[in-house]
Amino acid sequence: MNLDLLFAILFYGVIVLIFFKTRDKWEVQARIIALYKTKIGLKLMDKISNKFPRLLKYLGYSGIFFGFTGMLLIAFSLLKWTIELIFVEGAVPQIAPVLPGVKIPGLPTLSFWHWIIAIFVVATVHEFSHGVIARLYKLKVNSSGVGFIGPILLAFVEPDEKQVSKAGKAAQLSMFSAGPYSNLILGALFSLFFLFIMVPIQGNLFVVDKLTVDNFTAGLPAEASGLKVPFEIISLNEQKVIGSSINSLEKMFNEIKPENTVMLNTDQGEFKIKAVKDEKSNRGLIGININLQTRIKQGYSEFFGKVFNWFQLLIMWLGMVNIGVGLFNLLPLGPVDGGRMFYALLLGITKDEKKSRKIWSFVSLLLLLLIFINLLPWLAKLLPWISKFFSFLISLVV
C-alpha cells in the first residue's frame, strides 16, 4: 500500500468536509483558490513592528538589496539553464516540481507529510513577514488566514492595497521583499542546522549495513579494474566497512590520496585500483558510485532510528523548500513578490504606468516561457504519478 497516497486522500478528504461544513466562511476566487480569512496574528504583527522598528527597517533595506540581487541571479540562472537544456546534449533540467512522490535525482523522495509541513512553514513565515513590515510602515492589514490554490496549501495576509499603492518606494519594496528574504534566511538556518547538527549525529548514530556499487564514473580507474557492477564492498584498505559508522566510512574515502593503490575486498574478490587526482578537491578518486544502506547502532531501537531519520529529512526539506520558494518569489514575474518589486522599480524609473506595465508584462511572459521549457521533461514523469493516484482512488472505490 502506498501510504503517501493514502495520507493525501485522507488529508484532502478532511479538508473537503471542513470546506463544505464552513462554506460561508470561505472566499473562492477563479474556482481554484479558496481563502479562509481570519484576524489571527495581526496583533502579534503590531507588537513586533512596534518593539523592533529600527532593526526591522534595517532588515527591510537589506531585504531590498538582497531581493534585487537575488532577482538578477535567479533570472540569469533560469536563462542559462534554458539555453543549456536546448543546446547542450545530455543537459538535465535544473528546476523541478517539488511534489510528494516525484523523484528528483540526487535527493530522497519527498513524502506527503514532509511536503505539507514544509509548505505550511514556508507560507506562514513568508506572509507573516509581509504583515510585520506592512505594520512597520503603518499600512493596514485587513486579514490573515489559510487557503488552497488547487491542492497546494497556503497562508496569506491581506494588506490594504490602496494604502500600499500610495506608500513610498522604500515601504513598498521592503514589504514586497520581506517574504522571500525571510524564506531565504530561514532556509539558510535550517540548512546549517542540518549540515552541522543532524548530519554529524547521524554519522555517529548509524552504521553501515551494506555498501554496494551500482555503476562506475566513466574514464576513471575502477571502470578498468575487472569488477562487474553491481558489487558489494566488504572492506577498504583492510578496514572493515560493514558495521563501521558513517563518519568512519567517510574518513576511509577521504584518506585516499592521488597515486595511492586502493585495496577493495568485494563479494567478487580482492581488487587493487590506483587512485587519480580529483582536480577540485586534490583528493584521490577511483570512480565508484556507491549506494549506502544503514542501520542504527546496537543499543538504540529501530523505531528511534526511523523517527530520527524522519526529522532529519524534515529539516533538510525545510531548508531546501524555503530557499527554493524564496528564490522563485524573487523572479520578476507577474504577481509574485519579485514581479511587484520589478514593477515598482520600473514605475519609479519611467514615471509612466503604461510603459512600465508593458515592460513588466513582456518580462513576465518571457520568464513563464523559460519555466515551461525547463518543466517540459518533468511532464512525462508526472503523468505516471497522476495515473497512479487515480488508479489508487479507483481501487479504493472498487
For residue range 331-387, list pLDDT tens digits in order: 999 889 999 999 999 999 999 999 999 999 999 999 999 999 998 887 766 666 566
**Coil, strand, or helix at residue 331?**
coil
Q: Are 375 and 95 within 8 A, CB to CB?
A: yes
Q: Is the pLDDT score of 162 beyond 70?
A: yes
- Cβ atoms within 10 Å of 195's Cβ, excluding its own: 13
- Cell reading at 382: 508526472
- Cell reading at 204: 555517529
- Cβ atoms within 10 Å of 349's Cβ, excluding its own: 11
- From CA 199, how far away is CA 249, in angstroms rounded? 14
Closest CA to 135 of 50, 41, 37: 50
- From CA 398, how far away is CA 396, in angstroms rounded? 6
Q: Where are the domains of the chain?
A: 3-200+309-397, 218-286
- Cell reading at 45: 504583527
pLDDT at 46: 97
pLDDT at 311: 97
pLDDT at 71: 97
Give the whole-number percent of the chain exceeding pLDDT 90. Answer: 72
pLDDT at 213: 92
How do residues 246-260 score in pLDDT, each as one tens digit?
889 989 998 999 999
Give the whole-number percent of the chain exceeding pLDDT 70. Answer: 95
How do residues 118-143 score in pLDDT, each as one tens digit?
999 999 999 999 999 999 999 999 99
- From CA 224, how far away is CA 220, in angstroms rounded? 8
Closest CA to 227 of 215, 242, 241: 215
Own/partner contacts of 35-40, CB < 8 Å, gap of 24 or more, are: 35/145, 35/146, 35/147, 35/156, 36/145, 36/146, 36/147, 37/143, 37/144, 37/145, 37/158, 38/143, 38/144, 38/145, 39/143, 39/144, 40/144, 40/145
Burial degree of 62 (CB within 10 A; 0-12, 13-18, 19+): middle
- From CA 128, how far away is CA 121, in angstroms rounded? 11
CATH topology of domain 218-286: Pdz3 Domain (2.30.42)
pLDDT at 387: 62
pLDDT at 107: 82
- From CA 358, how far away is CA 342, in angstroms rounded? 12
